[in-house]
Structure 1
Amino acid sequence: MPSASTTGLDRTAPTPGQPVTFSEDYYQRVVREHGYDTFELERFSFALAGLTADELNLRFLCHHRGGAFLSTPKASRIITTGFGMSGPPHMGTVAQILGITRFQLAGERCQIVLGDLDAHNGKGRSLDQTRELAERFAAFCQRLGFNDTAGILRNQFDDTNCLRNLYLLGFYADDGDFGHAEEDNHSYYASLGVVDDRMTFRRKVSLALMASDFVTLGQDHDAVLVMLGIDEHKYVRFTREIAERLDGNTTLRGDFALASIYSRLTRGFGGQPKMSKSIPDSSISVVSTPEEIRARVTGDEARTPAESPAYQLLCQTFFRPHEETIALIRDCATGSPLWRKTKTELAEYLISVMELW
């Protein structure tokens, strides 16, 4: 799997209409060249939620300020992630749910935000559709093991406190902040017509609400750890810059530790840079047929983990224990009988997950 080092990152934009390929080169650049300040992304040197540093480096890519999060007592810290409700979840989203559920089972307080308003404004989906999807997502998260009594499982529509805080944060935001917060593959998705090609007002509101999600947690917790895909690292940066401007003229505090943990992005099928709900052929989703799932997983002939959607899914869903997952790197490279058997078993597991939807 790709490695990372502690440096900054360049605001290198993709060529319009061309996808960013989330290869080893991309990961190296994302931790090496960040032109807009020292945004350190570090490899793991500590254990978290029962996962050793080695396993964290296998399952995830990197972190920012993880040490500050760990130094905060458990009672005063929280891990959060969230999903847009633009369509039924694909297996990359499932992996995020399984990851935060793993943290919760190890005793961390956790939150999942179901982005119904995000999908409505940011992706142009009808409000009725996104609210219905949020209800289904909530039930799906519970079936995958997330405990909404021990943790927080909520949508955006009903959280009026977070919506009020969005307005308060608006006093400290500038139009220029939003232009620097584009997802790395935005221009590619815009070329396909699945998102607005400009930073429209409704996209700004969607992004500001995500920032408010994070800041609102910081009002009651001394440390917030955001779990996202590495392509979304600019969202956390956006939030941090605004939170640092908070002063005595607001009821909000910005002196909490905002940390982040980033997962590797699951390579998409059909040559797509990542699995995306917006591009159905790129992914396996909960509405894929068993035949499609078997065909895509067993038909994956890539010989390196970075190029293999099947290996990345196996790794990120915790389908095999750490040591077995490491050992399978060689089997993936050779296409051994064990690797073919593992892909078949992985396909059946993903089918069982799909049936929970």
Structure 2
Amino acid sequence: MTKLHAHYGTVRGRNGYEPVDGAVGPIPAAERRRFVAVDDRGVLTRSGERRTLVATGVGMTGPPPLGTVGQFSTAVALQETGLDVQLVIADLEPYHGGAPLDRVRSLAERYRAFALDLGFDPERGRLRTQSEATDVMRTAQLLAPYYDPDTWESDDGEGATDERPPTEWERAVREAYEAGEGDRGPGTAAVAHSGPTSEAADIHSAVLHGVDFLHPLYAGDYEQVVLQFGIDERHLTRMARRFRDAAPVEGGVAGLYTRMLPGFDGAPKMAKSIPGSGVSLAMDEATIRERIAGDPGGDPARSPVFQAMCLASRYGAERLDRLESACEAGAEDWERARAEYADFVVDLAERWRATGD
């Protein structure tokens, strides 16, 4: 069992989550490889009875890595099941952190264009930045008196304390971050934080983050919201629930969580701050191909390329079954599979470059 696979099991057990091993409401079993946990399977089963929105978003510190591609791909896949999807491009977060506004706006428009190019349909949901949603900002001002994170972060899940020891995978990630400080590696340039920031900006950003999820309930547009993120962002569901409970907001809040991507060269995850661990769409073709070709296969759970195929692609279930077998076998079958996926990622990088400078 890999550290990451064991981490999934521990997180599910600690929080009472269920594994995703089949269909979840309108999401077909064919999409099961994207997801590792759901904290209320029934919420999507009830999506035909209660107006339901899947809410997700992407951070925006630089060119998209494969994990962000996976978020875009998952949003499109969920739209294709008939679900309404809100995809927020979190542009105010880097601005509140000190990134220049003109640089943030330019990058946000590239993210929007890229999401549309990958197939997101704004007619079946909402694709927006934070800065353009003045209705959400108004709600954030009205709900700000109810925001009290100091009383929300004391436990993990339904009354369970958050003082449990980290999993082996979480320890490995922490160590990798500490070892990688100061060296982001090739193709991972982030938005420079060279402008002003403040404690007030941090608080504004946090309140708005929560209201990004709660506004559809507060406005009465939906009766339940399903937050869809990587499982390392599960705390956002807890935060949204507690914010809802404290504020004059009614409606259901649930979580649907995707897999994490293990990093290359034994890194516990793909991350900008872990040198050599991931693939960014800012990388040149040769670097992308070299990195993907470096995955020897073997255990699919340890393979960064196979795990990326499950999340950051539109491969169908039958194809992923064949690719899993190829990964286990290695040799020529896996070499061909890696080369095909490298073609796919190189094409993504070209499409990203086409959105602007």
TM-score for the superposition, normalised by structure 2: 0.80
Question: Which residue identity does 2:33 align to in structure 1?
Answer: L
Question: Which residue identity does 2:212 align to in structure 1?
Answer: D
Contact persistence 1:86–1:278 (CA under 8 A):
no
Supply the distance in 1 between the matched residues of 2:116 and 2:49 (Cα, whole angstroms): 23
Deviation at 1:271, TM superposition (A): 3.7
Supply the distance in 1 between the matched residues of 2:87 and 2:110 (Cα, whole angstroms): 14
Structure 1 position 65 matched with structure 2 position 40: yes
State the match for 1:17 in structure 2: none
Deviation at 1:98, TM superposition (A): 0.9
1:78 aligned residue (53, 61, 64)? 53
1:234-313 equivalent positions in 2, closer than 5 A: 234-246=235-247, 252-253=248-249, 255-279=250-274, 281-313=276-308
State the match for 1:346 in structure 2: 341
State the match for 1:14 in structure 2: none
Question: Which residue identity does 2:127 align to in structure 1?
Answer: L
Query: Which secondary structure does the structure 2 equivalent of 1:352 belong to?
Result: helix
Contact persistence 1:76–1:222 (CA under 8 A):
yes
Supply the distance in 1 between the matched residues of 2:49 and 2:104 (Cα, whole angstroms): 33
Closer/same/farther in 2, CA of residues 278 and 81 from structure 1, 3 Å limit = farther
Deviation at 1:206, TM superposition (A): 2.5
- Greater Cα shift, 265-274 or 43-52: 43-52
Contact persistence 2:59–2:89 (CA under 8 A):
yes
Identity %: 30
Closer/same/farther in 2, CA of residues 341 and 233 from structure 1, 3 Å limit = same
Deviation at 1:51, TM superposition (A): 4.4
Query: Which secondary structure does the structure 2 equivalent of 1:281 belong to?
Result: coil
CA RMSD, Structure 1 to Structure 2 (Å): 3.0
Closer/same/farther in 2, CA of residues 186 and 169 from structure 1, 3 Å limit = farther
Question: Which residue identity does 1:227 align to in structure 2?
Answer: Q
Closer/same/farther in 2, CA of residues 318 and 86 from structure 1, 3 Å limit = closer
Contact persistence 1:42–1:64 (CA under 8 A):
yes
Supply the distance in 1 between the matched residues of 2:235 and 2:313 (Cα, whole angstroms): 27
Contact persistence 2:230–2:259 (CA under 8 A):
yes
Equivalences, count: 323
Instruction: Provide structure 2 residue ranges, at least 5 long, that are not aligned to the other structure.
Output: 157-161, 185-189, 353-357
1:109-120 equivalent positions in 2, closer than 5 A: 109-120=84-95
Closer/same/farther in 2, CA of residues 340 and 190 from structure 1, 3 Å limit = closer
State the match for 2:233 in structure 1: 232
Contact persistence 1:177–1:238 (CA under 8 A):
no
Structure 1 position 218 matched with structure 2 position 217: yes
Query: Which secondary structure does the structure 2 equivalent of 1:244 belong to?
Result: helix
Closer/same/farther in 2, CA of residues 56 and 320 from structure 1, 3 Å limit = closer
Query: Which secondary structure does the structure 2 equivalent of 1:307 belong to?
Result: coil
1:2-151 equivalent positions in 2, closer than 5 A: 23-33=4-14, 39-44=15-20, 47-48=23-24, 51-53=27-29, 55-73=30-48, 76-121=51-96, 123-151=97-125
Closer/same/farther in 2, CA of residues 338 and 49 from structure 1, 3 Å limit = farther
Structure 1 position 169 matched with structure 2 position 150: no
Supply the distance in 2 between the matched residues of 1:187 and 1:158 (Cα, whole angstroms): 38
Deviation at 1:74, TM superposition (A): 7.1
Deviation at 1:259, TM superposition (A): 1.4
Query: Which secondary structure does the structure 2 equivalent of 1:153 belong to?
Result: strand
Supply the distance in 2 between the matched residues of 1:288 and 1:226 (Cα, whole angstroms): 30
TM-score for the superposition, normalised by structure 1: 0.80
Question: Which residue identity does 2:102 align to in structure 1?
Answer: D
Deviation at 1:169, TM superposition (A): 2.9
Deviation at 1:323, TM superposition (A): 2.2
Closer/same/farther in 2, CA of residues 111 and 304 from structure 1, 3 Å limit = same
Contact persistence 1:267–1:312 (CA under 8 A):
yes
Contact persistence 2:12–2:19 (CA under 8 A):
no
Deviation at 1:89, TM superposition (A): 0.6
